[in-house]
Amino acid sequence: MRYRSRVTAPAAALIGTAAALTVGGTAHAAPKDAAAPGPETLGDPVFPSLGNDGYRVAAYHLDLAYDATTKLVDAQATLKIRTTQALTRLSLDALGLDIRTVRVGGRTAAFEQADEKLRITPARPLPAKAHVTICVEYGADPSRALAHTAWVVTPDGFAICPQPNSAHTVFPCNDHPSDKADFTFRVTVPAGLRGVANGLLTGVETLADGRTAYSYRSREPMATELAQITVGDYVVKDRQGPHGLPLRDVVPAARATALEPALALTPGLVDWLEQRLGAFPFETYGLLPCNSDDPNAFDFTGLETQTLTLYKPNFLLQEEKKIGSHMMHELVHSWFGNMVSPATWSDLWLNEGHADFYGLLYRYERGWADSLGLTTMEARMKDTYARGDQWRHDSGPVAAPNAANLFDSQRYLGGVLVLYAFRELVGEDTFHAVERAFLDRHRGSSATTSDYIAVASDVSGQDQSGFLRDWLYGTKTPRMPGHPDWTVTPVSATLAPHRRTSGYHDNSATL
């Protein structure tokens, strides 16, 4: 969707800066250290227009106020950035936001909106390595029709689902997981509603007009696609997890009792996973069963927004053996995807492959049959192995997706198959040592597939690059270590790709 540009500076000034910009690269040749417009992309292989360069974001403060009568949001986003080059102009990702004013370093800045970018021209060029504050005041309509959106409209408010590329429909940002930042939030709501966001509650303020402002802070850095802000008729249920971990669930008030059996499973899930991956990496965890029964409200079962996993409430009303494995899948993302984020979206298999790997292990340990009626990891992997060439034909190699097939089964079960093959090669003890070392070395940052391969080689004491790259990037499925009898079914051109039709996580084998 293309948006009408909004120009707030003389046309000649904007034309002058625009002429120097080359999207996806650097500006035209200029003297060393001379200020230039920042590139409007980080060059992601899956979403090439996503993100912006020339700076990095250190922190976001998001101040949102919800009006229950108009169902609109009035907001201010404050970004603290550090420039990586001298800039005459910089850009943020923004779509469907009604930008009112922009200030850079306290000074009013010119801006324009074009496509999914908010281009900002500060009153003075910004020097390299400068710490700068940007304030953007704007309005948003959660129900606005857009090419893609993070807003989930509910009868009493909203929640958000930013993954993979829609955080910038909620707040202007550098919307790429490689640029993680600190987050604080202030959510103002009318009487009778509650505002909730990632992290821990740091303050509650009753305003003179009867509204309430809730403040939150996320202790660990976070990717924009993991932000969560929700408003509605919710109650917060607190409980204690392993080693004193505070757990908080944000639950529709009318469903608190019905949802309790599912919510009570979380401490046991955390304990099981901590034994394998180490201490829980964040200050709290819990579930947010979004207050909507509309099957079209959002097109997935669960989403791992940091410290607060978004769910369809009806899913959680089922018996444990139907939900426990997928609850584990989402919990695993606290380590793989949240604590260590993908450096590019082609690295998604690191998130989803690990989430399904441990989710399936949890299922089979309990003797719960999967969707194919299988009850062991070996049986499921043999079945998946047989599909390997077909999936590579239909959806590309595991670590080489595109925007159309990003959430195909190849990133989920295909990723599990890679991890299973590597475990079969090096043994369970070395495999788990690699897993922990990878998490330890990249905690709080983003990591690439190459980073995982490097850790695997280092910890195992052998060069694993050839083995893992064949599994991750090859067009043919390699032989499975320890299972010479396993065979791959020949590719059929008539079979349709195993592709999501109604949800990011609906291709998870844990469902």
Per-residue pLDDT of the chain (511 residues; tens, 9 = 90+): 322 233 333 333 332 333 333 333 333 444 557 899 999 999 999 999 999 999 999 999 999 999 999 999 999 999 999 999 999 999 999 999 999 999 999 999 999 999 999 999 999 999 999 999 999 999 999 999 999 999 999 999 999 999 999 999 999 999 999 999 999 999 999 999 999 999 999 999 999 999 999 999 999 999 999 999 999 999 999 999 999 999 999 999 999 999 999 999 999 999 999 999 999 999 999 999 999 888 887 778 999 999 999 999 999 999 999 999 999 999 999 999 999 999 999 999 999 999 999 999 999 999 999 999 999 999 999 999 999 999 999 999 999 999 999 999 999 999 999 999 999 999 999 999 999 999 999 999 999 999 999 999 999 999 999 999 999 999 999 999 999 999 999 999 876 655 544 445 579 999 9
Helix, strand, or coil (residue 40): coil
Query: What does the alpha-carbon distance between residue 207 and residue 210 come to, in Å, rounded to a whole number?
Result: 5
Query: Hey, what amino acid is at 453?
Result: I
Q: Three-state SS across 148-195?
A: CCCEEEECCEEEECCCCCCHHHCCCECCCCCCCEEEEEEEEECCCCEE
Asked whether 196 and 308 are in contact (CB, 8 A), the reply is: yes
Token look-up 């080059």 returns 85
Instruction: Look up residue 403 and give its DSSP letter.
Output: T
List C-alpha distances in Å: 400 to 67, 391, 407, 449: 43, 12, 12, 10
Query: What does the alpha-carbon distance between residue 41 and residue 168 come to, in Å, rounded to a whole number?
Result: 14
H or E stretch at 120 = strand 117-121
| Confidence (pLDDT) at 228 | 98
Asked whether 488 and 386 are in contact (CB, 8 A), the reply is: yes
Exposure string of 151-168, with b = 16+ CB inside 10 Å and e = fewer, is bbbbebbbbbbbbbbbbb
The dihedral through the CA atoms of 138, 143, 145, 147 has a sign that is positive
H or E stretch at 37 = strand 36-37
Query: What does the alpha-carbon distance between residue 118 and residue 425 come to, in Å, rounded to a whole number?
Result: 49
Count Cβ atoms below 10 Å from residue 322 Cβ, excluding itself: 13
Measured in degrees and rounded to the nearest 5, phi and psi for residue 4 equal -65, 130
H or E stretch at 80 = strand 72-83
Asked whether 52 and 39 are in contact (CB, 8 A), the reply is: yes
Query: Could you tell me what percentage of the chain is helix, strand and coil, using 3-state DSSP and rounding each to the nearest 5?
Result: 30, 25, 45
In this prediction the pTM is 0.92
| Confidence (pLDDT) at 19 | 31
The dihedral through the CA atoms of 215, 218, 223, 227 has a sign that is negative
Token look-up 């974001």 returns 57
Count Cβ atoms below 10 Å from residue 445 Cβ, excluding itself: 14
Longest distance between any two alpha carbons in the chain, whole Å: 73
